[in-house]
């Protein structure tokens, strides 16, 4: 809960918050345990987004979002729609 509040406040007051590469990589590793994520992660069309797109990396930086994607199909579908918009 504290992490959520800190993330919210830092994103509210700092428009260009730095990306935490280690945290993003950990969240990607967590998601790679799931078949639906592996399918999009290894698709050439999406793969470059995970490394080069700042918006996708910022999305994956949120542990709360990642946990939702691990549990809920709706969050997974929302993430895929988000990726398609970034293409």
Asked if residue 39 belongs to a domain, the reply is: yes
Please give the full DSSP string across 2-16, using - where no structure is assigned: HHHHHHHHHHHH-TT
Asked if residue 79 belongs to a domain, the reply is: yes
Q: First CA to last CA across the chain, in angstroms?
A: 32
User: Two tokens at 8?
Assistant: 């919210």
If one counts the domains in the chain, the total is: 1
Asked if residue 33 belongs to a domain, the reply is: yes
Give the global pTM. 0.76
Higher pLDDT residue, 4 or 48? 48
Domain of residue 58 covers 20-86
Asked if residue 7 belongs to a domain, the reply is: no
Q: What is the mean pLDDT of residues 9-22?
A: 65
Q: What is the mean pLDDT of residues 49-54?
A: 90
73 exposure class (CB count in 10 Å sphere: 0-12, 13-18, 19+): exposed
Asked if residue 61 belongs to a domain, the reply is: yes
Asked if residue 15 belongs to a domain, the reply is: no
Asked if residue 12 belongs to a domain, the reply is: no
Q: What is the mean pLDDT of residues 64-76?
A: 95
């Amino acid at each position: 809960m504290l992490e959520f509040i800190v993330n919210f406040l830092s994103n509210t007051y700092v428009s260009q918050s730095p990306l935490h590469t280690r945290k993003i990589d950990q969240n990607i590793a967590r998601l790679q345990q799931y078949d639906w994520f592996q399918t999009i992660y290894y698709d050439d069309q999406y793969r470059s987004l995970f490394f080069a797109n700042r918006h996708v990396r910022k999305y994956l930086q949120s542990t709360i979002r990642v946990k939702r994607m691990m549990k809920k199909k709706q969050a997974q579908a929302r993430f895929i729609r988000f990726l398609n918009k970034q293409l």
